[in-house]
Structure 1
Amino acid sequence: MDWKNQVVLVTGGTGSFGKKFTKILLEEKQPKKVIIFSRDELKQHEMQVGGFNDPRLRYFIGDVRDRERLVRAMHGVDIVVHAAALKQVPACEYNPMEAIKTNIMGTANVVEAALDAGVKKVLTVSTDKAVSPANLYGATKLAAEKLTIQSNAYAGGSATRFSCVRYGNVVGSRGSVVPLFLKQRSGGKITITDDRMTRFWLSLDQGVRFVIDCIEQMEGGEVFVPKIPSTKVVDLARAIAPDAEINIIGIRPGEKLHEMLISEDEARHTIELERMFVVQPAEATWFGYSWKDKGSELKEGYYYSSDNNMEWLDIEGIKKYIAPFEELFLQGKLEG
């Protein structure tokens, strides 16, 4: 895929993912233009003065809840990466209508605006919490996935194609547990909800590069899932603060012991490749099912969860992931 003539729009472009995605894309793929679409003028200003002032960058203030603004922003756009979301589980539980308006209706607006503007590819960024969701955030992301994938039916004979990526916790991203543990370390105590808890982990760099790879390969209709390691949350705490006391405070509402990236039901129409899984739509007249020739089908009864993973990070492995954030924390530059 030749990126040099592509105009790319990123919703939620001032977030952790959006900034990293923009940096790597500009440096390595040299697109024609990258549009940062977000609702916070301060974060856009901080992004600009923080070094994101490339002449190929454009900053659009707008909210995914505003379909008309999205249509305007997508004029002449080839690729949309939809990363805007309310993602804090407690905030979504306390403000359910706001989560639905942004994560579900916002995704619907992105889909419709992309269709109206003739965008070629739309990739929605999702989460393991969308699989068998236990909280409203997960439920809204499940709906966002379904909206994205099934909207290929609306595309008909047009050029627009829709796919998703779904992955686990991003180490050190805004709102993640790593900045929290680093802050708690100075007090000598770290709080964990349950010492049995496991999570999928990947670095921000891995997540961004996976998204770029999926844009290049997508045909429309896939949910792409990377093969990533699991870790025990208690091991993460020990890697960050080996001398701290660990307090078990109990699972919060909507929290799971283990996360899942592919359910047993989804596995029946999933193809495994060397570095990822491709979840195909169960039945769709618009999908070509050509991925079956590129990989292998999964065994009956398979599911991909953070506690049955074949790849694990031990404490030393975790330290390598968190080392860059240790440095930023010590410099006072780590975003919480």
Structure 2
Amino acid sequence: MALAHDGIMGAVAMLLAFVLRLDFDGFLLNWPVLLGAAILFGVMVSTAGFLLGLNRGIWRYASLPDLVAIAGATSVAIALFIVAEFLLIRLNAIPRSSVVIAWAFTVVLLAGPRAAYRVYRNHHDSKRRRKAEPAGGRNVLLIGATDNAEAFLRAIKERDRTSFEVLAIIDERGRRTGRSIRGVPVMGPLERLPQILSRFEARGRRPEAIILTRSRDDYERHASIEALVEIAATQKLEILRLPNLLDMQSIDAEIELRPIKLEDLLQRDPVRLDVPKIQSMIQGKTIMITGAGGSIGSELARQIADLNPGSLILLDASEFALYTIKSELSQRWQNIDIQAALCNVREKEAVRTIVERFKPDVLFHAAALKHVPMVEAQPLEGIFTNAIGTRNVADAALSANVSRMIMVSTDKAVNPANVMGATKRMAEMYCQALDLDPEVIGTRFITVRFGNVLGSAGSVVPLFEQQIKAGGPVTVTHADMERFFMTIPEACLLVLQAAAYTPAPQHERGRIFVLDMGSPVKIVDLARNLIRLSGRRPDKDIQIVYTGLRPGEKLYEELFDSKETLSETGASGILAASSRSIKRAVIVRIFDEMQCVVSARDLQGAVKLLKSTVPEFTPDMEDHLLMSIKRSAKS
């Protein structure tokens, strides 16, 4: 049908060109030749359309690419027609300019019916949807007169049904106010949103949600997401984001909008990775991850699996966590050899046996006890897992000739005010000593230090979300408390980047890689934003209560010690710190002694040794440690 239509339209276009060029009387003087030429051109149009696949296009979805294809097919048909007419009649009786006119007429006659059919179908379908769904779905506003907004409008109009009724598009700065996109009025600026809402409310069509159409980075130039969240909370509107453009282009798929997440409010620049370097470290290699069932370990496992390792060894002390992550990875990456090792890093011989068995090329050590108040209440457990456990993993890596071991550390290791931070600093010192030892040749020991990650197990964000869900209050320890934050995927990407960097020169060894965490965030601001994201107002709908600092907590965290020397690494988002180190022989003796006092459950001796090894360990509150020691002595 399409080929027949195009052929007929081509013949009509050529006839019109002859009549326009020669006028009607001139056409009649030589009409048999001209009519034959028009029929021949129609055949050429059908032939060109078949060769270029013009007949395979669906008229209902005709668009700009189809117009380009029509122009191309018409050009091919013109070329074929000129060659054929020259061979047949040497182009006698064919006005040269009529060919150009025929090209324009053909494009119009081929594209016009397609466009008209699309308009008809869209109108017909919209009318049918309105009859089937008189309510028209949820009333929403789009924020941003963007290409994404146009794509969203096009997508919902092309579907047989939609759950959205777009009332207006809000141009943040009001520069396009008074215009329209696909029939939807553009209003603005953003400051007039309350008045715009009142106008729709007066008509009985108050919006239920606002949908952001810009990317996160783009909002920095137009309107901050924080401001939009504030407006949405004040006006009691749900705030959503558009899905991926590719998802909207699928006619059969439902358009699923996602809510704004806390990560969207961090306003961090995207990580620029040296993908080839990271891939060369992972691809085809045997990779082991300790603490693989935890927040960081599991995300590392996912990102590493994406880089096609030869095999992936997951080690964790939790049977359930290990089973969960192995099941997920085995289902998603069936081509990768994934092994699970149930093991506690405290068990020296078990760790050594597993590492010797699998002989990983790269080992990521993410296993740790990280909950500050929990470790403060049970210091021996923190020392055993975080310090001695790291030694067990490092010694096993050295014995098995692992190419590189990467220890995941924390900003709490800088001037630690709690046992958890001090144990992680002790672990850093052990890895530093091994990396600096000139006798250690085959294995690199890399330490990567970063701050808090959003949504990790035991972090403040899930707690706040539970409190908000329960109706409040949200508990914050102190109004001035600040922390560094990044997302779990971003932290893991930078860990991989740091691991891949690892310079070989001896003078650059022993440095601690520190991830660029951006600016610190006040915990109370975090709480307020989470309340707003839930559609409620802080201090009105949900109260914030200050509970006071817990044992071992600091108001401010630091990424660097003032005595550490900072330097650039050349890797995006990563700095290097050269900190105080201890010779390997000395740190080994300290760890041997710590092993003895911990095994003897000598809490007082363990804390004393911890403080002498990490002299910057100055607890803000020592009473709870003394109480722990007294309880230990009684037991």
Give the TM-score normalised by structure 1. Answer: 0.80
Partner residue of 1:252 out of 546, 550, 557: 550
Aligned 8 A contact 1:155 1:161 in 2: no
Task: Provide the residue aligned with 2:566 in structure 1.
Answer: 270
Structure 2: how far apart are the matches of 1:146 and 1:78?
23
Structure 1: how far apart are the matches of 2:581 and 2:431?
15
- Residues 90-133 of structure 1 show CA distances to partners (whole Å, capped at 9, x for unaligned) of 11111111111111110111111111111110110000100000
* 1:234 matches 2:524: yes
- Higher helix proportion: 2
| Residue 51 (structure 1) shift | 4.6
Task: Provide the residue aligned with 1:223 in structure 2.
Answer: 512
Structure 1: how far apart are the matches of 2:488 and 2:523?
18
Structure 2: how far apart are the matches of 1:83 and 1:165?
10
- Residues 41-64 of structure 1 show CA distances to partners (whole Å, capped at 9, x for unaligned) of 122222233454444211001111
| Residue 264 (structure 1) shift | 1.0
Higher mean C-alpha displacement, 110-119 vs 38-47: 38-47
SS in 2 for 1:34: strand
Aligned 8 A contact 2:371 2:420 in 1: yes
Q: How does 1:167-206 map to 2 (within 5 A)?
A: 167-186=450-469, 187-206=471-490
Structure 1: how far apart are the matches of 2:478 and 2:502?
38
Q: 1:191 to 1:135 in 2, by over 3 A?
A: same
Task: Provide the residue aligned with 2:390 in structure 1.
Answer: 107
Aligned 8 A contact 1:89 1:254 in 2: yes
| Residue 72 (structure 1) shift | 2.1
Higher mean C-alpha displacement, 32-41 vs 149-158: 149-158
SS in 2 for 1:58: strand
Structure 2: how far apart are the matches of 1:236 and 1:153?
40
Structure 2: how far apart are the matches of 1:284 and 1:91?
29
Structure 2: how far apart are the matches of 1:65 and 1:283?
24
Q: 1:70 to 1:283 in 2, by over 3 A?
A: closer
| Residue 208 (structure 1) shift | 0.5
| Residue 74 (structure 1) shift | 1.6
| Residue 155 (structure 1) shift | 6.4
Structure 1: how far apart are the matches of 2:513 and 2:434?
16
Q: 1:107 to 1:283 in 2, by over 3 A?
A: closer
- Residues 265-306 of structure 1 show CA distances to partners (whole Å, capped at 9, x for unaligned) of 11xx220355221012557999xxxxxxxxxxxxxxxxxxxx
Structure 1: how far apart are the matches of 2:317 and 2:440?
33
* 1:12 matches 2:301: no
* 1:56 matches 2:337: yes
Q: Considering only CA atoms, is the larger Rg found in Structure 1 or Structure 2?
A: 2
Aligned 8 A contact 2:368 2:385 in 1: yes
Partner residue of 2:325 out of 16, 24, 47: 47
Aligned 8 A contact 1:20 1:208 in 2: yes
SS in 2 for 1:255: coil
**Aligned-CA RMSD value:** 1.9
Letter in 2 for 1:18: G
Letter in 2 for 1:34: L
Between Structure 1 and Structure 2, how many residues are aligned?
Answer: 283
SS in 2 for 1:279: strand
Partner residue of 2:372 out of 89, 112, 128: 89
Letter in 1 for 2:338: L
Higher mean C-alpha displacement, 122-131 vs 186-195: 186-195
SS in 2 for 1:74: helix
* 1:279 matches 2:542: no
Higher mean C-alpha displacement, 6-15 vs 44-53: 44-53
Which of the pair has the greater relative contact order for Cα pairs under 8 Å at 6+ separation? 1
Higher mean C-alpha displacement, 190-199 vs 72-81: 72-81
Aligned 8 A contact 2:387 2:424 in 1: yes
Letter in 1 for 2:493: R
| Residue 33 (structure 1) shift | 1.1
Task: Provide the residue aligned with 1:78 in structure 2.
Answer: 361
Partner residue of 1:119 out of 353, 377, 402: 402
Q: How does 1:32-43 map to 2 (within 5 A)?
A: 32-43=310-321
Structure 1: how far apart are the matches of 2:573 and 2:428?
21
Q: 1:254 to 1:158 in 2, by over 3 A?
A: same
Structure 1: how far apart are the matches of 2:458 and 2:328?
20
Letter in 1 for 2:568: E
Structure 2: how far apart are the matches of 1:231 and 1:11?
29
Letter in 2 for 1:270: L
Give the TM-score normalised by structure 2. Answer: 0.43
SS in 2 for 1:264: coil
Aligned 8 A contact 1:93 1:137 in 2: yes
Structure 1: how far apart are the matches of 2:371 and 2:291?
14
Q: How does 1:145-160 map to 2 (within 5 A)?
A: 145-154=428-437, 156-160=439-443
| Residue 212 (structure 1) shift | 0.5
Structure 2: how far apart are the matches of 1:103 and 1:185?
33
Structure 1: how far apart are the matches of 2:515 and 2:557?
14
SS in 1 for 2:287: strand
Identity %: 35
* 1:209 matches 2:487: no
SS in 1 for 2:513: strand
Structure 2: how far apart are the matches of 1:283 and 1:17?
27
Q: 1:49 to 1:31 in 2, by over 3 A?
A: closer
Aligned 8 A contact 1:115 1:155 in 2: no
Q: 1:90 to 1:282 in 2, by over 3 A?
A: closer
- Higher strand proportion: 1
Task: Provide the residue aligned with 1:316 in structure 2.
Answer: none
